[in-house]
């Protein structure tokens, strides 16, 4: 924000490119070429030759494990509305709240601080005390309330108030769903499942701007919040009855 305000967009872009080049030098100098031991190399050559970079059959095989498809769909469905708001945030800040580059930078810094505090000091304690099913329900319920609040917010202060529970619900959802998915597959498939979980964010960033732009232009900011509220509320009700049914069976 400061660089863009004082020196312009060209200097800011060049400064970002210089930072990326410096990061590349750090990677080339300090990251080893191989993080695996020599024994694992020889044992893994035959396996790697039979595996492809992208395999629909491998994804289908993972989805057939008990509970994997349900949790993965929950991760995608509940993560999409929140992801739409995230990818549209810059447009919302500049167009709806009329913030300049410097104010937008301060707001992003605030988001980063909140995320560090939530992930470092809150989520770890909750996972040690509550079950994964309870935490999943909690994250989706909080996300539903946040969506309703975002549908009616009008000021930057109200945005900052909703950011803390939004980041909490997103971080908790990602941690819990990743944990549940990796536990549902064999240890040899943990890496593949983690990569599949990470691909959800790429999917959201791909389709999010198109959906978010259409909703924002035609129906306003409130439509994004209301859709987030309705989707998460529906999933929360489904999970509640599903967990209740499982307890009755047990």
Domain of residue 14 covers: 1-29
Pick from 22-26, 29-33, 76-80: least confident: 29-33
| Residue 123 within any structural domain of the chain | yes
Same-domain check for residues 94 and 213: yes
User: Residue 51: inside a domain, yes or no?
Assistant: no
Burial class (CB in 10 A: 0-12, 13-18, 19+), 75: buried
Strands (DSSP E) found in 37-104? none
**pLDDT higher than threshold 60 for residue 231:** yes
Is 158 inside a domain boundary?
yes
82 with 135, same domain: the answer is yes
pLDDT tens by residue, 197-226 = 888 888 888 888 899 999 999 998 899 999
Using the structure block, give the residue that is written with the tokens 């803390």. Answer: 164
pLDDT over 70 (residue 249):
yes
Q: Are residues 97 and 213 in the same domain?
A: yes
- Note whether residue 41 is domain-resident: no
Please give the pLDDT value at position 45. 47
- What does the CA dihedral 65, 66, 71, 76 come to, rounded to 10 degrees? 40
Query: In sequence order, what are the residues at sequence separation of 6 or more whose Cβ sits closer than 8 angstroms to the Cβ of residue 232?
Result: 78, 81, 140, 141, 143, 144, 147
What is the pLDDT, as a whole number, of residue 43?
47
Residue 59 lies in a domain: no
The 10s digit of each residue's pLDDT in 118-176 is 888 888 888 888 888 888 999 999 999 999 999 999 888 898 889 889 989 988 898 89
Domain co-membership, 115 together with 207: yes
% of the chain exceeding 70 in pLDDT: 90
Domain check: are 106 and 18 in the same one?
no
Average of per-residue pLDDT values in the chain: 83
Same domain, 79 and 191: yes
Structural domains of the chain, count? 2
Same domain, yes or no: 75 and 4: no
CATH number of the CATH domain containing 218: 1.20.1250.20
For residues 120 and 17, membership in a common domain is answered with: no
Q: Is the pLDDT of residue 34 over 90?
A: no
């Amino acid at each position: 924000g400061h660089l863009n305000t004082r020196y312009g967009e060209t200097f800011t872009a060049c400064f970002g490119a210089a930072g990326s080049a410096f990061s590349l030098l750090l990677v080339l100098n300090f990251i080893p070429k191989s993080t695996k031991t020599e024994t694992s190399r020889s044992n893994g050559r035959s396996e790697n030759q039979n595996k492809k970079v992208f395999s629909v059959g491998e994804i289908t095989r993972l989805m057939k494990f008990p509970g994997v498809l349900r949790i993965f769909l929950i991760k995608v469905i509940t993560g999409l509305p929140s992801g739409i708001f995230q990818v549209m945030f810059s447009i919302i800040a500049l167009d709806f709240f009329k913030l300049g580059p410097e104010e937008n930078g301060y707001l992003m810094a605030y988001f980063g601080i909140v995320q560090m505090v939530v992930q470092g000091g809150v989520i770890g304690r909750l996972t040690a005390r509550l079950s994964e099913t309870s935490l999943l329900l909690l994250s989706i319920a909080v996300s539903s309330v946040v969506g309703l609040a975002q549908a009616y917010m009008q000021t930057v202060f109200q945005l900052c108030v909703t950011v803390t529970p939004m980041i909490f619900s997103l971080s908790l959802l990602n941690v819990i769903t990743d944990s549940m998915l990796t536990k549902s597959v064999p240890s040899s498939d943990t890496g593949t499942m983690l990569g599949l979980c990470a691909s959800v964010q790429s999917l959201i960033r791909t389709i999010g701007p198109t959906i978010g732009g259409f909703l924002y232009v035609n129906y306003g900011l409130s439509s994004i919040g209301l859709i987030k509220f309705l989707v998460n509320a529906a999933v929360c009700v489904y999970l509640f009855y599903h967990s209740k049914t499982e307890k009755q069976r047990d």
